[in-house]
Homo-oligomer: A and B are copies of this chain.
Amino acid sequence: MIIILKPQASESDAQEILDKIASLGLKPLYMPGIERTVLGALGDERVLSQLHLDAYPMVDEIKPVLSPYKLVSRELQAHDSVVSIGGVKVGGGNFTVIAGPCSVENQDQLFGVAQMLTQHKIPLLRGGAFKPRTSPYSFQGLGVEGLKLLKAAKAKYNMPVVSEIIDPSDAQLMYDYVDCYQVGARNMQNFRLLEALGKQDKPVLLKRGMSATIEELLLAAEYIINAGNSNVILCERGIRTFETATRNTLDLSSVAYLKEKSHLPVLVDPSHGTGVKFLINPLSRAAVAVGADGIIVEAHLNPKEALSDGHQALTAEDFATLMADIKPFITAAGKSL
């Protein structure tokens, strides 16, 4: 950790901080400059966060040297993690497509989509039972009824299911119905939820928050792993920027960045990431090319009747086009579906 003092800091101001650093077992460094004095602390600087050195009036700025995450880091584990969702492997050389409706609405809708997906050999089914909606007047999901339908679909079509959790107290309940918990963008920093999932042994699909930095996403994953569950899959789903032509700005550089810095698998959600139907195919291709381990997309046999996000749901025909569209790129990437 590097500590830059204000120009008017005295030698005794510096000494007070150096003593603090030494008292924690780190090696203090004193670097008096011409315009500024700079201090350093060598060792595991994470213990320094206890000190709140930035509260010292003579401290101008603190610059950490080490990244604040550990367990998710490729420095800790060099090889790629492969996470199993009900037996389906995510990561490694696989390119995994997870698809299904935004919300589970009824048996016909869900089974219809699942049937369509099996024709394309899609291994994993997604569907929301508990929906976080911006307005209290929007459809909030079927709840437990939706979970039951997901379990039935899984039994019938042999597709493990992914569904969103929005409350830590649902972790136990959902455990019986789903194969993978999804944490949505709005809950990426719902730390109680992350901790609750850290105590489960089923995988967690963790979506990046709308205004979360890549580092914050990794720290959210760190919460889950630190609490005991290392089966974490990251998901880029777009960040909020000034651009209004798209609902979010899908940040594909984050995918390559995450793959470099972390051993965790990384998916891309082009449906929410763009919010524009004609962008889903090109961005899915780009997700393959940038190195993602898969995509998660919304599909609905009759989007006009969908109870949520119908505008970005792919029909059976759209879905067939998407799959044909991405296949050559998956081959180019040296991966397999």
Contacts and interface: CB of A to CB of B under 8 A. Distances in A.
A19 to B, nearest CB: 12
Give this chain's copy count: 4
Given A75-B7, A286-B252, A191 B133 contact: yes
A223 to B, nearest CB: 5
Contact of A38 (B2, B55, B329): B2
A166 B137 contact: no
**A192, A219, A274, A303: which has the most chain B beta carbons within 10 Å?**
A192
Given A243-B254, A257-B245, A136 B222 contact: yes
Contacts of A54: 310-311
Nearest to A75: B7
Contacts of A331: 328, 332
B283 A253 contact: yes
Nearest to A332: B328
B278 A260 contact: yes
A271 B216 CA distance: 21
A323 interface: no
A134 B174 CA distance: 26
A245 B33 CA distance: 23
Interface string A27-65: 001011111101010111010011010111001000101
Contact of A50 (B34, B250, B307): B307
A259 B249 CA distance: 17
**A44, A132, A289: which has the most chain B beta carbons within 10 Å?**
A289
A305 B56 CA distance: 9
Contacts of A283: 252-253, 256, 290
B249 A239 contact: yes
A125 interface: no
